[in-house]
């Protein structure tokens, strides 16, 4: 038997062992995720102490050392790391523990913090975004720690707070102050759909517009302009301005062309065009104080999403030019994260594709994400970062949930892919 043949048999045996552990832990995995959802961690306000305690309890039981890095007292981050037997690459597993607010519990079939296990799903806020993916990272780290003598390089787990509002106390803090969390590659389980692997993201640009006029009694429209009417006209013009397609850079265009059919299937009809275009959502509008008064002020917040290949400067210039027609309006930039991407043909993409093909019979397609994740922060530092997670179709909605079989598939894929990355030559 050749050495290469022996090595492949050892690797196949190791992967069979990992899959066996996951199958044996099926109920434990589902129970962990259910209890994780019950540990409410909405952001805002961003208090993740209960959810972090849940993760810490697991790491303590597994006797896995970790550090608590908490620049904000209510937003802790957990970092754990171990070395393999030989030198090699450094893989970082990343997931967040804060989630969207839940809204009115009366509108939920299962309570937003119930963590109910029903109808083949785990239900509740954060089940998909992203306590499913974060659980995959945590268990991947635990399983591979048992095989550290078979691994090369380093594996690091980062379980962070303060992601949902792009805040400064989570992954941003770690990457700015703890370079040991940078690594050579990052793997994340944000909702992406099992049919896809995300290698980049559109960039959010949030702008607040304020319209001010004199205002008047509602019966005297000849005495003043209406701030809300001006805002409505401006919003229409902004939507027209946002309808711009941008040519993708590098090898991104060709990859997206080949992925087009899967993009439409996974993310809905029209997603391919959205992925390549500037888009706009008006998420907040506030104006007026009484129905029979002409509003003297109207404020609205615009969420532009910029595709890879374009920065904000050109769009800002166009917006300022448009505002020359609206002297009653001022604007304020609230938030900006540049669009970002890494190599869609990186070895980690191929590793994920091979494992999914072996388990499910299809290869997930490389795509650009429509929403933002912490992986952008690794890409900003030229560290390739990839997202493979559950369906995004219920995230942020009432009755958020994740299918149990899909959740277990994400755990298997992350575990096997991390193993492959840390055992390759």
339-394 pLDDT, tens digit per residue, is 999 999 999 999 999 999 999 999 999 999 998 999 999 999 999 999 999 999 99
Integer Cα distance of 304 and 312 in angstroms: 9
User: What's the average model confidence in pLDDT over 206-230?
Assistant: 97
Residue 62 φ/ψ, nearest 5 degrees: -80, -5
Comparing C-alpha atoms, which of 414, 395, 419 is closest to residue 134?
A: 414
Look at residue 342 in the predicted model and tell me its pLDDT: 97
3-201+339-421 carries CATH number 3.40.630.10: yes
Q: What proportion of the chain, given as a percentage, has pLDDT over 70?
A: 99
Tens digit of pLDDT for each residue in 170-204?
Answer: 999 999 999 999 999 999 999 999 999 999 999 99
Look at residue 5 in the predicted model and tell me its pLDDT: 65
Integer Cα distance of 52 and 170 in angstroms: 12
How many beta carbons lie within 10 A of that of residue 424, not counting itself? 13
Q: What proportion of the chain, given as a percentage, has pLDDT over 90?
A: 92
Question: Strand 121-123 to strand 67-69: parallel, antiparallel, or no bridges (unpaired)?
Answer: unpaired
Distances 251 to 45, 111, 310, 346 between C-alpha atoms, Å: 40, 45, 15, 12
Tens digit of pLDDT for each residue in 135-161?
Answer: 999 999 999 999 999 999 999 999 999
166 confidence band (pLDDT: 50, 70, 90): confident
- Topology at the third CATH level for domain 203-263+276-336: Alpha-Beta Plaits (3.30.70)
In contact, 236 and 302? CB cutoff 8 Å? no
Look at residue 245 in the predicted model and tell me its pLDDT: 86
Encode burial over 327-348: b for 16+ CB neighbours within 10 A, e otherwise. Answer: ebbebeeeebbbbbbbbbebeb
Integer Cα distance of 403 and 397 in angstroms: 15
Comparing C-alpha atoms, which of 35, 30, 53 is closest to residue 113?
A: 35
Tell me which residue has tokens 């499910």: 360
Integer Cα distance of 51 and 77 in angstroms: 11
- Kindly report, as residue ranges, where domains of CATH 3.30.70.360 are found in the chain: 203-263+276-336
- Kindly report, as residue ranges, where domains of CATH 3.40.630.10 are found in the chain: 3-201+339-421
Q: Is the pLDDT of residue 53 over 90?
A: yes
The CA-based diameter of the chain, rounded to the nearest angstrom, is: 94
User: What's the average model confidence in pLDDT over 33-47?
Assistant: 97
Distances 328 to 124, 210, 325, 385 between C-alpha atoms, Å: 44, 8, 9, 43
Tokens in use for 99? 């989630």
- What is the helix (H) or strand (E) element at residue 189, kind and residue range? none
Residue 188 φ/ψ, nearest 5 degrees: -135, 150
Look at residue 275 in the predicted model and tell me its pLDDT: 94
Look at residue 419 in the predicted model and tell me its pLDDT: 98
Look at residue 243 in the predicted model and tell me its pLDDT: 79
Question: How many residues in total does the chain contain?
Answer: 425
- What is the helix (H) or strand (E) element at residue 198, kind and residue range? strand 196-201
């Amino acid at each position: 038997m050749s050495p290469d043949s022996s090595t492949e048999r050892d690797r196949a045996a190791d992967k069979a062992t990992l899959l066996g552990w996951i199958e044996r832990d099926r109920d434990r995995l589902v129970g962990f995720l259910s209890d994780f959802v019950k540990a409410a961690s909405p952001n805002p306000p961003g208090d993740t102490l209960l959810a972090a305690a849940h993760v810490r309890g697991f790491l303590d039981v597994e006797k896995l050392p970790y550090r608590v890095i908490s620049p904000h007292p209510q937003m802790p981050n957990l970092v754990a790391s171990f070395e393999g037997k030989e030198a090699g690459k450094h893989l970082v597993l990343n997931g967040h523990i804060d989630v969207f607010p839940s809204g009115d519990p009366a509108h939920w079939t299962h309570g937003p913090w119930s963590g109910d296990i029903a109808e083949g799903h785990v239900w509740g806020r954060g089940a998909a975004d992203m306590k499913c993916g974060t659980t995959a990272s945590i268990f991947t780290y635990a399983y591979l720690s048992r095989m550290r003598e078979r691994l090369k390089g380093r594996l690091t787990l980062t379980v962070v707070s303060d992601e949902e509002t792009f805040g400064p106390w989570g992954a941003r803090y770690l990457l700015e102050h703890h370079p040991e969390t940078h690594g050579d590659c990052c793997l994340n389980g944000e909702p992406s759909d099992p049919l896809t692997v995300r290698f980049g993201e559109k960039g959010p640009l949030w702008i607040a517009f304020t319209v001010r006029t004199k205002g008047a009694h509602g019966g005297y429209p000849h005495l003043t302009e209406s701030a809300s009417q001006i805002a409505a006209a401006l919003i229409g013009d902004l939507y027209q301005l946002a309808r711009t397609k941008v040519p993708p850079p590098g090898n991104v265009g060709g990859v997206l062309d080949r992925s087009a059919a899967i993009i439409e299937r996974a993310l809905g009809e029209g997603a391919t065009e959205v992925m390549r275009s500037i888009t706009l959502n008006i998420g907040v509008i506030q104006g007026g104080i009484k129905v029979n008064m002409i509003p003297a002020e109207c404020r609205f917040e615009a969420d532009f999403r910029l595709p890879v290949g374009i920065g904000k400067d050109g769009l800002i210039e166009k917006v300022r030019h448009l505002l020359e027609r609206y002297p009653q309006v001022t604007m304020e930039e609230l938030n900006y994260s540049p669009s970002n991407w890494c190599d869609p043909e990186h070895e980690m993409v191929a590793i994920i594709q091979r494992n999914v093909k072996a388990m499910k019979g299809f290869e997930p397609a490389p795509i650009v994400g429509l929403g933002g994740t912490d992986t952008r922060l690794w890409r900003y530092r030229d560290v390739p970062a990839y997202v493979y997670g559950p369906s995004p179709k219920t995230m942020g909605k009432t009755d958020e949930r994740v299918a149990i079989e899909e959740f277990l598939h994400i755990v298997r894929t992350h575990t096997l892919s991390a193993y492959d990355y840390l055992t390759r030559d």
